[in-house]
Amino acid sequence: MANSYQRNKTASTEMDVLRRSARKSRMERIKNEHIKEIMGVKGKPDIIERKRLHWCGQAKRMPEERIPKLIMEWIPRERRKRGRPRKTWMEGVQAVMTARNLEPDQWRNREEWSLVSGRRRQLLKNPDGWMDWGGEWMDGWII
């Protein structure tokens, strides 16, 4: 987990790149949200949250003796040293799950977890029985 200084530095660098790509100056006083809207960019926190949820689902489905699962479920006995994050990784995942209204045991069903954690688009059933992405096909690309 990055500290607040690192997050702020990353966010400001990202906005600088987006602003330059949109050919907008800070002198024009355009809000960051509008720049992101112009460039069609989703926020980094959303991407990080999705990846955390995906990995959490994978680790929870692992057998009990696997090291990644043991590490994820391990709780340290002592207080954390100065400079370490106060929240554990799992507390961050639980906060994301409550924000997205996910249930604690939803990770058991892999397909459902992929859909709710945002890892995959939802497939729609057509009346003829074929699966469809829900988008239009154009030269092999989904729009």
Note the pLDDT tens digit of each residue in 58-90. 888 889 999 988 888 887 788 878 887 778 888
For the CA atoms of 69, 72, 78, 80, the dihedral, rounded to the nearest 10 degrees, stands at 150
Note the pLDDT tens digit of each residue in 106-135. 888 877 777 777 655 544 444 554 544 444
pLDDT band for position 56 (cuts 50, 70, 90) = confident
Note the pLDDT tens digit of each residue in 2-30. 677 877 888 888 889 889 888 888 888 88
Yes or no: say if 124 and 132 are a contact pair by the CB < 8 Å rule.
yes
Domain range summary for the chain, segments of one domain joined by +: 1-41, 43-77+84-143
pLDDT surpasses 70 at 143: no
Alpha carbon distance 128, 90 (integer Å): 43
pTM equals 0.54
